[in-house]
Amino acid sequence: MDSKVEDILESLTLEEKISLLAGQDFWETVPIPAKGVPAIKTSDGPNGARGAVFNGGTRAACFPAAVCSASTFDPDLSRKIGNALAEETMTKGARVLLGPTMCNHRHPLGGRNFESFSEDPLLAGKLAAQVVAGLQEKGVGATIKHFAANEQETDRLTVDEIISERTLREIYMKPFEIVIKEANPWAVMTSYNKINGTHADSHPFLLKKVLRGEWGWKGLVMSDWGGTNSTIDSLNAGLDLEMPGPTKRRTIEAVSKAIFAGRISEATISDRARNILELIEKVKGFENPDIPPERSVDNPEHRRLIRNVAGQGMVLLKNEKNVLPLSKDHFKGKKIALLGLAKEALIHGGGSASLHAHYRISPWDGLHTAFGDDVEFRFAKGAHTYRQLAPMGEGCTDLRGTRGWTVRLFEQGDKEKPVEIRHKHPEAVFSPLLEHSSKWKDVQLSSTFVPDETGSHYLACSGIGPTVVTINNEVVFTQKYNTPDGMAFLFGGNPEKEFTYTFEKGESYDIRIRSRPAVGEDEEMGIMAGLPGFRLGFMNAKDHDQDLVSEAVDVARDCDVAIVFTGHTPVWETEGQDQMEFNLPKDGSQDKLVDAVASANSKTIVVNSTGVAVAMPWLDKVAAVIQAWFPGQEAGNAIADILIGDVNPSGRLAISWPRRIEDAPAYGNFPGVEKDDQPQVRYAEGVFVGYRHYDRLAKEKVLFPFGFGLSYTTFSIDDGQVAQEEQGSFKASVVACNTGSTAGATVVQLYVGRAEKSPKHPIKTLVAFKKVFLEPGHKRTVELCIALKDFAYFDEASGSWKVDRGKYSFSFRQSTADIGCHVTLHIDGSREVKL
């Protein structure tokens, strides 16, 4: 590899080297055909290889979200996911997958938590390492992201995160360190945010001192899309590749000027270019330079894997009086109510993790397949869950009298002479990614609307930049400022304020939407800078104000069992913005539905599909709860497997579940405040994130603890033993037993903490885990190997990792709140621990 890369590097001119340091377009690197350098293609994302198109592109397999796969606590499954993702990536002509996402769950309202594995850095790191290994052993480069501390979406392009070095190293950099050292990923993506005043893409501490220095990693560092914030600083810090292209920061003129001024060396440019060439070599780009067209390959093995991982990742949170499983024999001839989101397949969150799945199995479909014709199913929606009104389209005609809208593009500020006119635009939506010819243009959509009924109607509008809506020349909506996040607009999660307008049936109304590109600094808008985009939603008052709960209650009362499906659709849980509130959307409608149904039917089961913890004010009233997460394209089948007992639940929570948002560790410090006109957030909770925080609170403040999950059988863990074998390593063992009557699996979790509690340190820390499958009545000795580094802390005064002299409790548990069994050992001496 080195010889070929060095030969090519030596043949390149300085200008050619500079040209390699940014993409040629949205997904591909720059080729230099004359020198034998091909382009390679990248693809989103963490739970499937989407391909080049954000919406409605080539179909792809949708795998369970990372938080679902993490809840399996099974690294072997993560390895298989990596293998399958590699195969999917290659069907999209790509050589590099932009994943896995592995930032910690700092706060339950984090908009992108679902993409990441866990609140615990060990669990996240171990599982992510296996995804990376699975990808790269198949020849596809993994891109671990976002380095580092990308735990919120609010102001994500500009927010300055104030974090102590200890907190960074023990919590937020630890998953990356594990993956770097155990799987050697070929690429790392930097985050948008600042850390202690410096953008991640230009951060010498992160990129030079730690990543390439202490950790000794050699690979390619790329920016997040639109996340290159400087020319000189990012090059000197170690950012190899600016994405997407064409370049904004790394023009040949700008970089050459910096070299001439002595602010960047030619050696630095060669180093950056070398890393790009080496990535091309690793993915066999020189050997096979073609980028084949995208294909949709629906692989049966991937189907089975997705269903298996989803089933093992779902967590049974409550099962009063063993209402579950629902025996198929017992329910012959009976009625089951399927309520709420039963007909929607909540398979992924919004943003980079979204894709055009091969298919989407809803719970309605999955349960019909499972029970066949033996059961009568009744459905009622029960709650309004939409976030945005459907785009206005029906009853609209353009200037030529055909169905749709007329689009006019104007030079900015010009209202008289359009530079382009198009007709038959189907709906009142203007998507920036499909309309690149509109960059730095003002856009107007106009239509004649003829309503089919008289009365009050609801409308709602949002734009990337300033936007105005008029009806018959009357201004009915004005947005004066940019959207908070342009990418959030793209992903359909922008909040919109509804307003009403009274229309008369049969009358004609001239409706116009005028919108400008985002105004202000590019840093605030990222890759959306200069692109206009907007939407106008519409709904009649009858549908908008319909009472859906009463119908659902009537259906539930008439059935033997009521299953309420709750959760977040992709527009509610998405990249680009954090959760609006801890309760399920919309405006408490889902909570009201569950509460009302539970009052009508004592056998009410809730299946919740979110990537985060949510409030459950109705928990005491329902018989059972399943946390289904976002389980991928086999969602409905996997949920049915759990409900009917074909799969015994074995998922364990990869996150802690607080009762109230006020008890979350980052409460009051999320998503931050404005300081000197810049957003800033302090990680004031330090290392006390997740269970490290909840361990110090009263038990009643935690609804479900980290590592918790029920089964259709029961388990015990006993006879824990720990022996220190040699300096820095320990061998632990414990006996796990299936004490019930059904085959199943539990997760043995080993935690270490000081016997004498210290306010400066967590009470306990997860150091090892293992999933164990057992037949009824069977026992198994589970062995776990750990080292001092697994529970060392970072001492800022000496700049080193340490384990202090003293007694330590090694506790074997099935969750952080489980008593289990423990062993106390005295560890001699205070020492520096080498990682």
pLDDT band for 311, please (50, 70, 90 cuts).
Answer: very high
**The predicted structure's pLDDT at residue 486:** 75
Residue 493 has pLDDT above 80, yes or no: no
Mean per-residue pLDDT of the chain: 95
**The predicted structure's pLDDT at residue 439:** 85
Q: Which of 384, 306, 312, 390 is nearest to 341 (CA)?
A: 384
What is the domain partition of the chain in residue ranges? 1-39+187-282, 396-544, 715-832
Q: For residue range 607-646, list pLDDT tens digits in order.
A: 999 999 999 999 999 999 999 999 999 999 999 999 999 9
For residue 88, count other CB atoms closer than 10 A to its CB.
Answer: 26
Q: Residue range 452-470: average pLDDT?
A: 94
d(CA 776, CA 647): 15
Q: Where are the beta strands (DSSP E) in 48-192?
A: 96-97, 141-147, 160-162, 187-190
Rounded to a whole number of angstroms, the distance between the first and last alpha carbons of the chain is 28
**The predicted structure's pLDDT at residue 436:** 64
For residue 356, count other CB atoms closer than 10 A to its CB.
Answer: 17
Residue 524 has pLDDT above 70, yes or no: no
Q: Output phi, psi for 38, to 5 deg.
A: -85, 165
- What percent of the chain has pLDDT above 90? 90
Residue 505 has pLDDT above 70, yes or no: yes
**The predicted structure's pLDDT at residue 523:** 61
**Residue 54 · residue 574 · CB < 8 Å:** no
Check for a shared fold between 1-39+187-282 and 396-544: no
Residue 521 has pLDDT above 70, yes or no: no
Q: Residue range 789-803: average pLDDT?
A: 94
**The predicted structure's pLDDT at residue 54:** 85
Q: Residue range 725-742: average pLDDT?
A: 93
Provide the CATH number for the domain formed by 396-544 in this structure: 2.60.120.260
Q: For residue range 359-382, list pLDDT tens digits in order.
A: 999 999 999 999 999 999 999 999
Residue 53 has pLDDT above 70, yes or no: yes
pLDDT band for 171, please (50, 70, 90 cuts).
Answer: very high
Outline where 261-328 has alpha helix (H): 266-282, 300-313
Q: Worst-scoring range by mean pLDDT, 80-84, 265-269, 302-306, 420-424? A: 420-424
d(CA 646, CA 288): 45
Q: Residue range 389-399: average pLDDT?
A: 95
**Residue 664 · residue 671 · CB < 8 Å:** no
Catalytic sites, residue numbers: 224
Q: Residue range 338-346: average pLDDT?
A: 98
Cα four-point dihedral sign 150, 151, 157, 162: negative
Residue 573 has pLDDT above 70, yes or no: yes
Residue 434 has pLDDT above 70, yes or no: no
Residue 827 has pLDDT above 80, yes or no: yes
Establish how many alpha carbons lie within 13 A of residue 39's alpha carbon, considering only the half-sphere containing its beta carbon: 18
State the Rg of the chain over Cα. 28
Q: Residue range 139-168: average pLDDT?
A: 96
d(CA 119, CA 767): 14
Q: Which of 74, 73, 164, 152 is nearest to 113 (CA)?
A: 152
Q: What is the token pair recorded at 716?
A: 């015990």
**Residue 190 · residue 201 · CB < 8 Å:** yes
Residues 6+ apart with CB under 8 A from 664: 107, 108, 658, 670, 693
**The predicted structure's pLDDT at residue 499:** 94
Residue 248 has pLDDT above 80, yes or no: yes
**The predicted structure's pLDDT at residue 184:** 98
Core vs surface per residue 518-542: b (16+ CB within 10 A) or e? beeeeebbbbbbbbbbbbbbbbeee
715-832 CATH fold: Immunoglobulin-like (2.60.40)
Q: Which CATH architecture has domain 1-39+187-282?
A: Alpha-Beta Barrel (3.20)
Q: Worst-scoring range by mean pLDDT, 448-457, 481-490, 670-679, 762-771? A: 481-490
- What percent of the chain has pLDDT above 70? 98
Q: Worst-scoring range by mean pLDDT, 68-82, 410-424, 607-621? A: 410-424
Residue 433 has pLDDT above 80, yes or no: no
Residue 819 has pLDDT above 90, yes or no: no
Residue 835 has pLDDT above 60, yes or no: no
pLDDT band for 63, please (50, 70, 90 cuts).
Answer: very high
